[in-house]
Structure 1
Amino acid sequence: MIQPYADPTAATIKIAPSILSADAARLGEQVAEAEHAGADRIHVDVMDGHFVPNLTFGPGIVKWLRPVTRLPLEVHLMVERPDDLLDAFAEAGADTLIVHVEGAVHLNRTVQRIKSLGKKAGVAINPATPPVMLEEILPDLDLVLAMTVNPGFGGQSFLHGTLPKIRKIRSLIDALGSACDLEVDGGIDPETAPLVVAAGARVLVAGTSIYGSSEGVAGAIRRLNVRAEPA
């Protein structure tokens, strides 16, 4: 039975544990641990071995996780042809579908399709891609995901050169008066969390620092929350 969890919606900063770093042998248990510790959402990294040099999860994992947790499941599609997978992940139970600006050839059409499926639409942007690439699509988005490492593998070191870019994206969102989430992903831990929050991020994806922590999942989420909250 799924146990009640602390409502994280009142928190200024949201935490999205990435199951890329979880123990696959007890994935449901680790998702439940994150939920009980007050995580806001679960981040599912999907890689195709082409857009990025790694292979990870398919729709079946999302379908299996859906009855395990009441947290929103956000699917980060690091794939060459995201349009081919939207329906399958939507049917599996994803709440948010995130595509890369670098991987979606017809980005407006892709975002419109996500919306037509009744899902939240997010766009991810790689470290070397300028924020100007988001300007035309930003009014249609529920979420922007700024990559703070090059996508493909967990456990990478945070790229400090992405901080000015996060500030620029925050400025674009604020100029629109949009409620669009600004999420960051890559090398997020108790040391880098305050930096990205100061730059304007409000949702933190963390994998290794949560699932690889000696404090355990609950302790790691608590510490990340304490360090991330603005003073």
Structure 2
Amino acid sequence: MSLQKHLIAPSVLAADFANLRDDIQMVNNSEADWFHIDIMDGVFVPNISFGFPVMQAIAKHATKPLDVHLMIVDPDRYLKVCKDSGADIITVHYEACTHLHRTLAAIKELGCKAGVALNPHTPVALLKDVLADLDLVCLMSVNPGFGGQKFITNTYAKVQELRGMAQGVNDGLFIEVDGGVTTDNAARLLKAGADVLVAGSFVFSAKDPIATVKSLKDIDINVQNI
């Protein structure tokens, strides 16, 4: 695992879209590390979030990297516009890519970090042949498409298995967990080997979102009774 402190990436999907600029500023002012941006097409997942014009508006005011999660079919068509809209990290779904190695190479050619997301039913072992090419793996701990879902507990085992696979092959790999992350499960996820936590409604629905981000950032697995 990376020696750096784990990262927090609030998911803008849970923000108040009527006051989006205020929520962007909140993330800027917090101890969060990235903005997590979910692009959904209503085909790959049963929901539509927002498109690249909204992402461009976020990028205009964000002072932290944009971690873009493409929950769409045929993501290759949109890699360049994603980069041009402000993406620093582009994550595509394993389940949506026929030629995954080619897609990852295209992302890197654009100058972005390349990530792959796995749905809850997809085994991490399927990433063996591209593991060295990845900057990030996003493990979905809910079924993608909607915020506020219940955390799937099998995620702990998947994180641990993936971290074991990465050892000696890609020691700098970011393992990101997306879905149902709270202070109740964050420490156990970090202990298993995760180092990026995506939190949506847990942050944006909190009475004090900045304090909530801090509570996630301050978790120290060396002192937790897990």
What does the per-residue CA deviation read over 1:47-67, in whole Å, with 9 as the maximum and x for residues that have no partner?
Answer: 111110000121112211122
* Aligned residue type for 1:172: M
Q: 2-side partners of 1:139 and 1:155: how far apart?
A: 32
- Equivalent runs, 1:123-142 vs 2, <5 Å: 123-142=116-135
Stretches of structure 1 lacking an aligned partner (at least 5 in a row): 1-9
- Equivalent runs, 1:9-48 vs 2, <5 Å: 12-48=5-41
Question: Does the aligned pair in 1 maintain the 2:66–2:88 contact within 8 Å?
Answer: yes
Q: CA deviation at 1:167?
A: 0.3
Q: 2-side partners of 1:18 and 1:180: how far apart?
A: 21
Q: CA deviation at 1:171?
A: 0.7
Which secondary structure state, in structure 2, belongs to the residue aligned with residue 38 of structure 1? coil
The answer for the alignment partner of 1:165 in structure 2 is: 158
Stretches of structure 2 lacking an aligned partner (at least 5 in a row): none
Determine if the alignment matches structure 1 residue 63 to structure 2 residue 56.
Answer: yes
- Ranked by relative contact order (alpha carbons within 8 Å, sequence separation 6 or more), the top structure is 2
Q: CA deviation at 1:133?
A: 0.9
The answer for the alignment partner of 1:221 in structure 2 is: 213
Question: Does the aligned pair in 2 maintain the 1:47–1:152 contact within 8 Å?
Answer: yes
Q: 2-side partners of 1:59 and 1:160: how far apart?
A: 33
Give the TM-score taking structure 2 as reference length: 0.94
Of 130, 149, 160, 1:156 maps to: 149
Q: 1-side partners of 2:27 and 2:125: how far apart?
A: 35
What does the per-residue CA deviation read over 1:142-186, in whole Å, with 9 as the maximum and x for residues that have no partner?
Answer: 111111111110000100012111100111112314311111001
Q: 2-side partners of 1:228 and 1:213: how far apart?
A: 21
Of 108, 113, 122, 1:115 maps to: 108
> Displaced runs of 4+ in structure 1, greater than 3 A?
227-230
What does the per-residue CA deviation read over 1:190-209, in whole Å, with 9 as the maximum and x for residues that have no partner?
Answer: 10111211111000000011
Q: For the aligned residues, what is the CA RMSD?
A: 1.5
* Aligned residue type for 2:193: G
Determine if the alignment matches structure 1 residue 86 to structure 2 residue 79.
Answer: yes
Question: Which segment drifts farther, 174-183 or 13-22?
Answer: 174-183
Question: Which segment drifts farther, 122-131 or 10-19?
Answer: 10-19
Which secondary structure state, in structure 2, belongs to the residue aligned with residue 12 of structure 1? coil
Q: 1-side partners of 2:203 and 2:54: how far apart?
A: 20
Q: 1-side partners of 2:220 and 2:201: how far apart?
A: 16
Q: CA deviation at 1:125?
A: 0.7
Question: Does the aligned pair in 2 maintain the 1:47–1:54 contact within 8 Å?
Answer: yes
Q: CA deviation at 1:74?
A: 1.1
Give the TM-score taking structure 1 as reference length: 0.92
The answer for the alignment partner of 1:203 in structure 2 is: 196
The answer for the alignment partner of 1:181 in structure 2 is: 174
Question: Does the aligned pair in 1 maintain the 2:132–2:170 contact within 8 Å?
Answer: no
- Change in Cα spacing, 1:177 to 1:74, as seen in structure 2 (3 Å) is closer
Of 112, 120, 139, 1:146 maps to: 139
Q: CA deviation at 1:117?
A: 0.7
